[in-house]
Amino acid sequence: MILYLVGISCVGKTTIGKMLAKDIDFSFFDLDVEIQNYYNKPIERIQDECFSMNGYREKASKVLDYLFSKNINSVISGTPSGLKFSYLQVYKKHKASKDLYSILINDLHENILDRLTFYDKDSNPITEKIDDSKKKRYLKEIKADYNFFKDSYNRADFKININDINLEDIPNMIINELQKTIKISSR
């Protein structure tokens, strides 16, 4: 079984995915990390080599195809466009033949703003001071990104809203939601 987490940037897919994988004894893969490892360079450098974001997504979807093809119990933390563009085609291809479920992780835009992280072109974390005007701008960008991907998020098999939920409780919340439909157990 493969659980594929989707949602906007900084919603917590990686953090939650690691915790969930540990709780159900699955392997964990962060798609961004796997893309960097596959192409042996930082994501922004890969994006710079492509003529468009769609070109980048096509390259990145090859890595998603590889991960889905492993046929091992896993949790995969996807990208914001995880159920759109070439990622959706890969998802549909594998969904037809295996236990593959997409899970949307959703939170309030203001909570996502509080978790923003920044990286340079070589994927090194950088610190950015966020004053009130930057907060307004970033919040506007988060809302725009969410609206851009909103239709694709509606395709998710499961939708989990994590607003006001303690981080430690989220994996169990996901497991409980999955158990209503599919057979899955925690340790």
Given this model, what pLDDT does residue 187 score? 61
Over range 50-66, report the average pLDDT. Answer: 96
Residue-wise pLDDT for 84-128, tens only, equals 999 999 999 999 999 999 999 999 999 999 999 999 888 888 999
Q: Give the integer Cα–Cα distance in Å for 172 and 20.
A: 8
Please report how many Cα atoms fall inside a 13 Å half-sphere around the Cα of residue 161, on the Cβ side: 5
Given this model, what pLDDT does residue 111 score? 97
Please report how many Cα atoms fall inside a 13 Å half-sphere around the Cα of residue 2, on the Cβ side: 24
pLDDT interval class at 65 (50, 70, 90): very high
Let me know if 157 is exposed, middle or buried by CB neighbors in 10 A (0-12, 13-18, 19+).
Answer: middle
Given this model, what pLDDT does residue 184 score? 77
Q: Angle 119-169-138 (CA atoms, 0-180°, nearest 5)? A: 30
What percent of the chain lies above the pLDDT cut of 70?
98
Q: Which segments of the chain does DSSP mark as H helices, in order?
A: 13-24, 31-39, 43-49, 53-69, 85-95, 109-114, 132-153, 170-179
Given this model, what pLDDT does residue 170 score? 98
Q: Give the integer Cα–Cα distance in Å for 44 and 56.
A: 10
Q: Give the integer Cα–Cα distance in Å for 9 and 115.
A: 9
pLDDT at 185 over 90: no
Over range 169-182, report the average pLDDT. Answer: 95
CA dist 93 → 41, 84, 133, 151 (Å): 27, 13, 44, 19
Given this model, what pLDDT does residue 154 score? 96
pLDDT interval class at 42 (50, 70, 90): very high
pLDDT at 186 over 70: no
CA-based nearest residue to 149, from 3, 35, 13, 47? 13
Residue-wise pLDDT for 127-171, tens only, equals 998 999 999 999 999 999 999 999 999 999 999 999 999 999 999
pLDDT at 183 over 90: no
